Amino acid sequence: MKILLTGATGYIGKRLLPVLVENGHQVICGVRDLKRFNPPQSLKPRIQIIELDLLDQTTLANIPNDIDGAYYLVHSMSSSKDYEQLEFQSAHNFKEAMNRTQVKHVVYLSGIINSEVLSEHLKSRKNVEEELSLGNYKLTTLRAGIIIGSGSASFEIIRDLVEKLPIMITPKWLLTKCQPIGVKDVIRFLVKTLFNEKGYDKDFDIGGPDILTYKQMLEEFASVRNLKRRIYIVPVMTPRLSSYWLYFVTSTSYNLAIALVNSMKVEVICRNNDWAKTLGIEPISYRESLIRAFSRIESNEIISSWKDAMSSGTLDMEISDFINVPSFGCFKDQREMKYGDLQTTIDKIWRIGGETGWYYGTWLWKIRGYIDKLVGGVGLRRGRTNGTELNSGDAVDFWRVLYANKKEGRLLLFAEMKLPGEAWLEFRIKNEYLVQTATFRPVGLMGRMYWYAIYPFHGFIFNGMLNRIATSGK
């Protein structure tokens, strides 16, 4: 089937795209700026990219006439104070454009709007739904509350609050109840809903099994991250003060903060789970969603099912394209250097650690290993089992190999030393350069202090290591 995916550059769109491709669909990615869309190379032969701005009538002609289905994942909440008008106009233009095609089914991801008193944000979503329902096609609306997943706005706001503030003086809307859902489940709902006739011209609430207050969500997050946090609620904080509080403490924009605060005063609880039962989906808990979000690598759901598909030769996608080190809320030290000889450089990468050492400042690595042992870590005593080969799962001193592909020229390591956070070290051949990236995801204030404390040593150690690996000499 030929599927139009609007919002392909967004949080949900990026995760949905490879799953649709895996399911055999030909996907038309509608993006406002072609330069901002960089899908994995292995996906490009199976997708078509078109310039599509739903507020620009001239770009609507780029939509192919022979599409079978479409996803509407467009939102304007954080970009303008006039997002209500913009969202309605976008929906109207989309509806009119769809009426000129052969599209049979449209799936719209909205917010839970079953309360009699709606915020402007949720009222806007309802207006969009009503406008989309007037088209000459079947519409299914999935209404979700808080979406939990690494990189989602809700998740990162919760993360900012918990990890930055040991003590929180918070507004009373933290006692509002909601029903969060993991991003993995959202993708499953979106995929299984498309062309399901039982959902035509209907709307469904989708959520996880837990109904929690926002305060409970913060407390559960702190528990998962092993952080002690005290949360005090005061009734005198106005919506404007709440918006300023959210804006200054977290990484959200002020416009988004206002919209979120207004929405958080309204309970967003699912009416029922009938659609989940119909589709055979059993959503995971809020805690499990948090644990998944903090997994060692960020990857799309389809990785778990790729092995069979790839072995059968029906899918030509590289797993490496979907194995990514987390970025949001992380500190990075990235350096690159033009290498001398490709094979020599790769061989050096694959011999790192153990008896070979770390090529530069090895004595500092040894000190770090001794410190790790003193605090109950693994230290450097594990070494490595093979002097020249590395495979996923192998130990390299106090690192663990997550991904190793000599042909591709990529090695990804995860730190198993004692740290106030999580750390990754990646080597990747890119064009004629060796790119070396150290990533650290801190936990709480101690994690941030640790990063800044060791940062002065990075220039000495990482520059030297990169130079030794990239040059042709030993």
Please state, in angstroms and rounded to a whole number, the distance separating the CA atoms of residues 334 and 441. Answer: 14
* In contact, 334 and 462? CB cutoff 8 Å: no
The DSSP call for residue 251 is: S
Q: Rounded to an integer, what distance in angstroms lies between the CA atom of residue 199 and that of residue 185?
A: 17
* Element of type H or E holding 422: strand 421-430
Ordered per-residue pLDDT tens for the chain, 474 residues:
999 999 998 889 989 999 999 899 999 999 988 887 888 878 888 899 999 999 999 999 999 999 999 999 987 655 456 778 888 999 999 999 999 999 999 999 998 887 666 667 778 888 999 999 999 999 999 999 889 988 777 787 788 788 878 888 887 878 889 999 999 999 999 999 999 999 999 999 999 999 999 999 999 999 998 889 998 888 776 656 666 666 666 666 666 666 666 667 778 899 877 899 999 999 999 999 998 888 767 765 554 444 343 333 445 566 777 788 888 778 999 999 999 999 999 999 999 998 899 999 888 888 888 888 888 888 877 888 888 899 888 889 989 998 999 988 999 999 988 999 899 999 999 989 999 999 998 888 888 899 999 888 888 899 999 999 999 765
Provide the strand spans (E) within 173-260: 177-178, 181-182, 202-206, 212-213, 230-234
The reported pLDDT for the residue numbered 77 is 52
CATH of 325-470, one of 3.40.190, 3.30.530, 3.30.200, 1.10.405: 3.30.530
Give CA 61 to chain center in angstroms: 31
How do beta strands 331-338 and 202-206 pair? unpaired
- Give the up-direction half-sphere exposure of residue 446: CA atoms within 13 A in the CB hemisphere: 11
Domain 2-319 CATH class label: alpha beta
Q: Can you point out the beta strands (E) in 145-287?
A: 147-148, 167-171, 177-178, 181-182, 202-206, 212-213, 230-234
> Residue 423 pairs with which residues in a beta bridge?
440
Place of tokens 């030929």: 2
Q: Which residue has the tokens 């491709």?
A: 21
Contact yes or no for 345/434 (Cβ under 8 A): yes
Cα angle for residues 439, 440, 444 (degrees, 5° grid): 160
- Looking at residue 296, the DSSP 8-state letter turns out to be S
The pLDDT value given to residue 273: 74
Q: Where in the chain is the domain with CATH 3.40.50.720?
A: 2-319
Return the pLDDT at 207. Answer: 95
The C-alpha atoms of residue 260 and residue 122 are separated, in whole angstroms, by 10
Amino acid in position 114: N
Contact 457, 368 (CB under 8 A): no
Task: Count CB-CB contacts under 10 A for residue 215.
Answer: 17
Q: What is the pLDDT of residue 247?
A: 67
What confidence score (pLDDT) does residue 123 get? 81
- Residue 195 near residue 69, CB atoms below 8 Å: yes
Alpha-carbon distance of 391 to 385, in angstroms, equals 11
SS3 content of the chain, % helix, strand, coil (to 5): 40, 25, 35
Angular region, 259: left φ>0, alpha ψ -120 to 50, beta rest:
alpha
Strand partners, 139: 106
Q: Which residue in this structure is represented by tokens 């993708």? A: 187
- What is the DSSP pairing of strand 138-144 with strand 105-111? parallel
Reported pTM = 0.80
**Amino acid letter at 458?**
H
Residue among 415, 428, 422, 426 at smallest CA distance from 450? 422
Q: How far is it, in rounded angstroms, from Cα 305 to Cα 448?
A: 36
Compute the distance between CA of residue 25 and CA of residue 235 in angstroms, rounded to an integer: 51
Tell me which DSSP letter residue 216 carries: H
Cβ atoms < 10 Å from Cβ of 56: 11
Residue 224 phi/psi, 5-degree rounding, is: -65, -35
Residue 306: predicted pLDDT:
41
Q: 414 with 398: CB under 8 angstroms?
A: no
Planar angle of CA 211, 217, 221, nearest 5 degrees: 135
DSSP E strands, 151-268 = 167-171, 177-178, 181-182, 202-206, 212-213, 230-234
- C-alpha–C-alpha distance, residues 131 and 139, integer Å: 11
CA distance 296 to 156: 16
